[in-house]
Amino acid sequence: MSVSVVLIVVMAALFACGVYAMLERSLTRVLIGFLLLGNGANLLLLIVLGKPGVAPFFGSAEDAASFSDPLPQALSLTAIVITFAVSAFLLALIYRSWQLGQADTVEDDEADVALRERAAEPADALETEDEITEQDDDATTDFVDSEVAPITVLSSLDFDALADDAPTDRPTGDGRRGDDS
């Protein structure tokens, strides 16, 4: 099997950039990282194809040996569709996360927070985390809770947040209230 070195280098670069981007806290960058990783994996499937030949199954007079291997193409098509669907879902998730006023960052683990509390860290670090834990309290029970807000369209309050899209670490009180009402 002969493979293209250029493609391998590109794939390696995609994987490297993807992993780097996924390590970020911002969900949007995680999404970009995932897209790069997904493309890297798809490219790997294409590299597996080997030397490209003529279209398979089309024109049966051709010698079978000159065909491209059809299987990796089918596999990568499926993988592309899956990547597409998952990125659409991730985008919706990012939007919802931002709508709830947390910006689009990955929040800390509750267990990590508890550990940190036990280790008695400086008080100001604790306050932020306490707030997050408290906010969790009202929402951990049932998926049919009346407090579970349906995914709403943008309200006018959200438009203020639209202008200020700088990533923030803390939830902003305003955006949250706007959703609850």
Partner 1 sequence: MSSLVPLLTTLPLLGAAVALIFGRRRRVQVWVSIVTLTAVLVIASVLLVYVDAHAPLAVAVAGWPVPFGIVLYVDTLAALLVVISSIVLLAVLLFSVGQGAADGDEDTPVSIFHPSYLILAAGIYTAFIAGDLFNLYVGFEILLVASYVLITLGGTEARIRSGVVYIVVSLVSSVLFLSAIAAIYAALGTVNMAQIAERMALQPPSVQLVLHLMLLLAFGIKAAVFPLSFWLPDSYPTAPAPVTAVFAGLLTKVGVYAIIRTETQLFPDSNINTLLLIVSLATMIVGILGAVAQAELKRILSFTLVSHVGYMIFGLAIATPAAIGATVYYMVHHIVVQTTLFLAVGLIERRAGTTSILKLKGLMTGAPLIALLYFIPAINLGGLPPFSGFIGKFALFDAAAQVGTPLMIVLIVGGVITSLLTLYTLMRAWNLGFWRESTSAEEPEVEDRIRFLGSAPAAAVQTERRVIPKVMTASTAGLVVVTIALTVFAGPLFDLCARIGAQLSEPVHVAQVISDTTTGEGGH
Residue 73 touching partner 1 (CB under 8 A): no
* Closer residue to partner 1 in complex, CB, 111/163: 111
User: DSSP assignment of 57-119, as one string?
Assistant: TSSTTS-GGGBPPHHHHHHHHHHHHHHHHHHHHHHHHHHHHIIIIITTBPPPPHHHHHHHHHT
Residues in the chain: 181
* Closer residue to partner 1 in complex, CB, 17/75: 75
Task: Identify the residue among 85, 91, 125, 154 touching partner 1 (CB under 8 A).
Answer: 85
Whole-number Å distance between alpha carbons of 129 and 170: 10
Residues 19-38: x where in contact with partner 1 by CB under 8 A, - otherwise, as a string: ---x----x--x---x--xx
**CA dihedral over 80, 82, 83, 89, signed as positive or negative:** positive
The one segment of 59-67, 85-93, 158-166 that binds partner 1 by CB under 8 A = 85-93
Q: How far is the CB of 26 from partner 1 (least distance, A)?
A: 11
Q: In DSSP terms, which residues pair with 26 in a beta bridge?
A: 105
Burial annotation 38-77 (CB, 10 A radius, 16+ → b, else e): bbbbbbbbbbebeeeeeeeeeeeeeeeeeeeeeebbeebe
Residue 117 touching partner 1 (CB under 8 A): yes
The one segment of 60-68, 140-148, 159-167 that binds partner 1 by CB under 8 A = 140-148
* Closer residue to partner 1 in complex, CB, 139/154: 139
- CA 2, distance to chain mean position in Å, is 34
Residues at the interface with partner 1 (CB under 8 A): 1, 22, 27, 30, 34, 37-38, 40-41, 44-45, 47-48, 70-72, 75, 78-79, 82, 85-86, 89-90, 93, 96-97, 100, 102, 106-107, 109-111, 113-114, 117-118, 132-133, 135-151, 176
